[in-house]
Structure 1
Amino acid sequence: MTDLSAKGAIVTGSSRGIGAEVAKVLAAQGAGVVINYRQKAPRANKVVAGIVEAGGRAVAVGADLTSAEGPAALVDAAIENFGSLDVLVLNASGGMETSMGEDYALRLNRDAQVAMLEAATAKMGPGSRVVFVTSHQAHFIDRVSTMDAYEPVARSKRAGELALRDFIPALQAKGIDFVVVSGDMIEGTITATLLDRAEPGAIEARRAAAGKLYSVEQFGAEVAAMASAEVPTGHTEYVGGAVGFLEN
C-alpha cells in the first residue's frame, strides 16, 4: 500500500459518492484528508467519523468552490490540521441542477477548478500532485457526441480540463504534477441517475457498449491510486479503457 503518512490532502466534493471513496482510500494510506461539502454537513461528518474510527485523519470543511472564499478555506484547513498540502483531488462537479443558474456548470466545472488549483498550488511544494477527475463523455466531447441532457456539463468539464492543463508548465516549474483521471458512466452516482431519468435506458445502453461500468467504490479506488502513481505530468488515465471513444 502507498504510504502517505505526514501528507495533507484535499478532496473536493467528498461528502458522498466518488469523492468520499477517494478520501477513505487516501486516509487509509496515511494522509490527513480535508472532506469538502457545500451544504450537507451531517453527511460529511459521517465520512470523517468513518475515517477516524478506522484510525485515519480527516476534517470536514464546508466551502462553496464557486465563492471567492471557498478554495482558500480548504487550503487553510489542510495546512492548519495536517501541516502541509501535498495532494489535491479536483472531484467536485455538477451542472445538471436546475436551480443554480444557467451558467452554474461553467462556474463550477471551469472557473472554480481554476480558483481551487491556484489557491492550493500556492501552498503546495515540490513532489505534490493535482488530480482532476472527469468523464469520457466530457474528455472526448469534441470528438464524440453525448446525451443531450449531459452535453452542457460535458462541455464545461472539458473547458475546465483545458484551462487546468494550461497551468502545467508553471506547475512543472514548481515540481507539482498534474494528472487527469477519466472514467465512463459510473454506476450509483447522482449524475448517472439524473441522466437515466432524463433519458431512460441510458445506463443500460452505456453498460452494453462498454461491457462493464465501474461502481463508485471501484472508480474511487482508481482515482486515489493516481494520487501517487508513477506517471508523467499531464498523463490521462482512462479507467476501464475508453471503448467507443478512443476509436474516434
Structure 2
Amino acid sequence: MTTRTALVTGASRGIGAATAVQLARRGVDLVINYRDKQARAEAVAEQVRGLGRRALTARADLTDADAVGSMIESTVSAYGRLDLLILNASGGLERDVAEDYARRLNRDAQVRLAELAADRMTDGGRIVFVTSHEAHFYSDGSTLPVYAPVAASKQAGERALLDREAAFAARGVSLVVVSGDLIDGTITAKLLDRARPGLIEERRDRAGYLPSIEDFADAVAGAALATDPDKIIFVGTVDQGTPAG
C-alpha cells in the first residue's frame, strides 16, 4: 500500500501537533505547517520521525497566497503526492492584528488553501476542516464578545468550504468538518477563561467533561482516514447554547 501524505496547518503546537503525531501513528507521512514557531515545528517533526514516518516542516502564513502556493508545491515535490489536508490553523484573538484578520485567516485563507490542495491531491484525497461548537453553532446562540469575530469567521469558512463540496468531489476529494466543544488545555480555552474567569469549570460542570487535546486530535485523525465518515463530526457535548454562551 502506498503511504499517504498529510499537510497539517498550525501544527507546531496544540491540536495541530497532536493530530500530526496521531496520523504518524497510523502510518501517514507529514508536512508540519507553522507560521513562526520553527523550533516547536521541528520538535513535532522529530516526534513523527521517531514513529518511523517521514516529516517535513513548512513555514507559511496562510494569509500569504504566495507562501501557501509554494508550500503545496514543495509538498508534492518532496513526497510526490498529497492525500490529506488538515485545516487546523485559525486565529483572531492575537493582539495588534488588523480588524479583518480573522476573516482573512479563518475564511479566505482556508478556502484558498483547500482549492489549491484539491487541485494537487490524489484521487480519494480528503480535506478536514477543524472548528469548534462556538463557531459551528454561532448563528444559533451567543458567544463572548472577544470571541465573536473568530466564531463568525470560522463559521463563514466552514460554510464556504461546504458550498464547494461538490466541486471538490468532482476532483475526487472529500470534505469532513470536525467540531469540538471547549478543548481542555488549548490556548483558546485559556484565553476565553481569562476573558470570563471560571468559564472552563462552568462548561465542564454543565457538559460533564471536556475533551482533551489528545481526544480531539484522535477524532481529527480518525476523520481524515475513515472510509466513510459523517460529513460533520462532533467531539464532546452538543447542547443548547454554546460553550461560552
TM-score normalized by the length of structure 2: 0.94
Alignment partners' CA distance in 1, 2:117 and 2:53:
22
| Percent of paired sites with the same residue | 50
3-state SS of paired residue (1:39): coil
* Contact 1:6–1:30 (8 Å) recurs in 2: yes
**1:137 CA drift (Å):** 0.6
Of the structure 1 ranges 117-126 and 88-97, higher mean CA displacement relative to structure 2 is found in 117-126
Of the structure 1 ranges 86-95 and 96-105, higher mean CA displacement relative to structure 2 is found in 96-105
Alignment partners' CA distance in 1, 2:170 and 2:241:
32
- Indicate yes or no: 2:187 matched with 1:190: yes
Alignment partners' CA distance in 1, 2:201 and 2:12:
27
Deviations, residues 112-157 of structure 1 (Å, cap 9, x unaligned): 1011111101101321100000000100011111122211110010
- Indicate yes or no: 2:165 matched with 1:168: yes
Q: Map 1:78-97 to 2 at 5 A.
A: 78-97=75-94
Alignment partners' CA distance in 1, 2:227 and 2:210:
25
Alignment partners' CA distance in 1, 2:126 and 2:207:
30
TM-score normalized by the length of structure 1: 0.93
- Indicate yes or no: 2:118 matched with 1:121: yes
Residue of structure 2 aligned with 1:50, choices 44, 47, 54: 47
* Contact 1:179–1:236 (8 Å) recurs in 2: yes
* Contact 2:76–2:82 (8 Å) recurs in 1: yes
* Contact 1:34–1:74 (8 Å) recurs in 2: no
Q: Please list every run of 5 or more consecutive structure 1 residues that lacks an aligned counterpart in the other structure.
A: none
Paired positions, count: 242
- Indicate yes or no: 2:56 matched with 1:59: yes
Alignment partners' CA distance in 2, 1:181 and 1:245:
18
* Contact 1:27–1:58 (8 Å) recurs in 2: no
Alignment partners' CA distance in 2, 1:207 and 1:70:
39
Deviations, residues 59-92 of structure 1 (Å, cap 9, x unaligned): 1110000012122122123212222000000000
Instruction: Name the counterpart of 1:20.
Output: 17
Q: 1:200 to 1:241 in 2, by over 3 A?
A: closer
Alignment partners' CA distance in 1, 2:75 and 2:239:
38
* Contact 1:8–1:79 (8 Å) recurs in 2: no
**1:232 CA drift (Å):** 5.5
Q: Please identify runs of 4+ aligned residues in structure 1 that moved more than 6 A.
A: none
Residue of structure 1 aligned with 2:71, choices 74, 86, 98: 74
Alignment partners' CA distance in 1, 2:71 and 2:209:
35
* Contact 1:168–1:178 (8 Å) recurs in 2: yes
3-state SS of paired residue (1:33): strand
